[in-house]
Structure formats: C-alpha cells, structure tokens
Amino acid sequence: MGTTIPGPDGKPRCRWCAAAPEFLAYHDTEWGFPVDDDRRLFEKLCLEGFQSGLSWRTILAKRERFRAAFLGFDFDRIAQFTQADVERLLDDKGIVRHRGKIASVVNNARRAQELIRQEGSLAAYVWRFEPKAHELAAPQTASTSAASIAMSKDLKKRGWSFVGPTTVYAFMQAMGLVNDHARGCVIRDAAAQARAAFQPPRTRTGRLFS
C-alpha cells in the first residue's frame, strides 16, 4: 500500500510526489482527478506511451514542448501529419526523439478519429472501462488490472500502438478512472469527491456504456 510523507503544508501526501519538485503540483491538481476532455485523454495516452522505458519526470519536464510539437494534441490535426512531419519531430530536441513513439502518435490520432466516429467520443469509450470498487487493488500496489488489460486489448484490436496494459493502467490512475492516492493522502479524499460529482460521459445516443 502506498505510504505518505508530510507535504509543504504539513498535510500527508503520497510519498512519490516528493521525488521531484514538479511532482507536487501534478499530484495535488491532476493525478487521480476525473477527466472527460477528449484532447486531454488523447494527450495522456500519448505521453504515457512516450514514458515507456523512461521516467515520468522526464516526460513531465518536456510536457509543454510535447504540446507545442504535437499542436496541443489536437488529434484531427495530427492525423494529417506526413512522414516529413515525423522526420521534423525527430530533430526536435525538446521531446523524446523515438521514431516508433512519434509515429505511434500519428497512427493513434487516426485511430482516435475512427473510434470517435464509432463511439461518439474518446471520453465515452474510455470511461466504459472504469473498474468497479471491488476490482481495485490496494493503492499503489498494482501496475496493471483486469480493466487495463481489457482496454489495452481492445485498443490494440482497433489498431492503436504503445498502449500496453501497464501504460493503460498508468493512464487510468492519472485520469481518475482509478483513485490510487495512498490511504491517508490528503488528496485522496479530494479526488474521491471530484469523482462523486463527475458524470461519466455518454454516447451520442445518450446511453451509458454498460
């Protein structure tokens, strides 16, 4: 189970957020809070893919440059990228210059367009995979789950890449599908309250996914 340490205000926080100065704000205001914005969800899936084999600190430090390079992660615009754009991005020292991961963002943008045409929104699709409370492990004790495995498998079937179960689980933690703040962390309750007030997105027909 995740442990806590005192934050700058003396209140307990997840231990991991003390690993780097920039982690505190991310932990307190983003990680674990529910998101239903398609562009933010797409961005996070892409950044988690870039993190594969690296640290989140590396990606977080480069996040603004990633946003500039990928046009705010506007998947409709990224879907128009050509091989010349991939080559251009490989010369961008502000991002992670990995050909496979850059090409994956372009591919996944096109797959996101297809998914939205089919499901109504990326958010409606993503929240279909929110796990039930009884399916969750103790905070910060798992790196995958039945839900992340199912979502990973389905995304791969739809042609997405760099969306393995561990990547998807980290995405779920960050986007509020899983509240993985340590028990005792002052932000755990805040994230839970945000989720309680959150209405899961619906499809175009107004139907919630079952």
Active site residues: 26, 48, 56
Q: Measure the CA–CA gap between 127 and 200, rounded to whole angstroms.
A: 6
Handedness of CA 32, 195, 139, 144 (dihedral sign): negative
Write phi, then psi, for 19 (nearest 5 degrees). Answer: -70, -25
Q: Measure the CA–CA gap between 202 and 60, rounded to whole angstroms.
A: 30
Q: Measure the CA–CA gap between 122 and 138, rounded to whole angstroms.
A: 28
